């Protein structure tokens, strides 16, 4: 009986510690971070399954329903062509999120490649790459994006590539500094001393230990990419009408601010919420509270 009681006591204590640990973790959850994850999750669902949230068409409107204020039938109102604004925001999520993903991927892959080559080789190669990076940093971002779009043409993908190219320099500088730091560490020197080749040491030791900060920076860039793509769409350099891209939605409603305020307010609030949520999540992933 005593052994059974001891086992029951240990089980109760273990259960108590588990419950208290879970409660402590729940108490440490920050409401702002939880809300940010909820916002991002909803927007991702918008992009993946838009039919679950609305039955209206994002491009075809009903003329008699034009410029209707928010109501039970159209929760965010309608635009000048009678299209449901909530529907266009939902279907626009895939364009903005896809564009941001492409932009971050371009900056991450190209910029990291430049930084790794510069940091691992040194000498003339490093000097040439970093001078190119300095040139990219000296050009205003918006001017560089517009120049690239003029060369590539309009569209969400081209706008995303333009945004990604403007971030190449930042990724290159960060990855180069991380590679230089790791390359001079003792375990890398020991790997070379034990007979490791340059490529083997670079692949096994330098890259895994230098890309953590780069990936965290990529997460931070995601929110900025959404904002940049929306800016290009607002200026008319992004997706062409009638594509329901968020920046284009704001631009289309600016002529009706006095009579239909919801046309610019609703998509503008969505962009702000998504950008702030993405930035909050990236800060938490980077260890900042």
pLDDT digits (tens, 9 = 90+) for 104-140: 999 999 998 898 888 878 788 888 988 999 998 898 8
17-36 pLDDT, tens per residue? 544 555 555 556 678 889 99
What average pLDDT does the segment 59-87 reach?
A: 91
DSSP state of 79: -
Question: pLDDT confidence of 187, banded at 50, 70, 90?
Answer: low
Mean pLDDT (the chain, rounded): 83
Q: Identify the residue with better confidence: 184 or 279.
A: 279
Phi, psi of 84 (to 5 degrees): -65, 120
The pLDDT value recorded for residue 239 is 83
Looking at per-residue pLDDT, the higher value among 230 and 14 belongs to 230
Is the confidence at residue 12, as pLDDT, over 60? no
In the chain, alpha helices (H): 2-28, 31-48, 85-121, 123-138, 141-152, 156-166, 168-183, 186-193, 198-201, 207-210, 212-235, 246-253, 262-285
Asked if pLDDT for residue 186 goes beyond 80, the answer is no
Q: Which residue has the higher pLDDT, 18 or 174?
A: 174
């Amino acid at each position: 009986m005593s052994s059974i009681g001891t086992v029951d006591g240990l089980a109760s204590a273990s259960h108590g510690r588990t419950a208290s640990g879970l409660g402590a973790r729940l108490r440490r959850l920050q409401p702002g971070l939880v809300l940010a994850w909820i916002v991002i999750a909803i927007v991702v669902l918008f992009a993946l399954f838009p039919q679950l949230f609305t039955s209206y068409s994002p491009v075809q409107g009903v003329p008699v329903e034009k410029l209707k204020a928010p109501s039970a039938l159209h929760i965010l109102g309608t635009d000048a062509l009678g299209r449901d604004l909530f529907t266009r925001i939902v279907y626009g999520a895939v364009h903005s999120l896809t564009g941001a993903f492409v932009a971050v991927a371009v900056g991450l892959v190209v910029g990291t490649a430049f930084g790794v080559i510069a940091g691992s080789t040194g000498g003339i190669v490093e000097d040439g790459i970093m001078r190119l990076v300095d040139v990219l940093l000296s050009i205003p971002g918006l001017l560089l994006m517009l120049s690239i779009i003029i060369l590539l043409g309009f569209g969400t993908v081209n706008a995303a590539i333009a945004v990604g190219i403007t971030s190449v320099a930042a990724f290159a500088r960060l990855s180069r500094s991380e590679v230089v730091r790791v390359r001079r560490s003792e375990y890398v020197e020991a790997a070379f001393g034990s007979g490791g080749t340059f490529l083997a040491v670079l692949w096994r030791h330098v890259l895994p230990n230098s890309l953590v900060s780069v990936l965290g920076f990529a997460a931070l860039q995601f929110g900025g990419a959404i904002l940049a793509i929306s800016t290009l769409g607002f200026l008319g350099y992004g997706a062409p009408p009638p594509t329901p891209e968020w920046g284009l939605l704001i631009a289309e409603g600016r002529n009706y601010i006095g009579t239909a305020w919801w046309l610019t307010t609703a998509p503008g609030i969505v962009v702000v919420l998504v950008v702030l949520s993405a930035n909050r999540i990236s800060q938490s992933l980077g260890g900042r509270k």
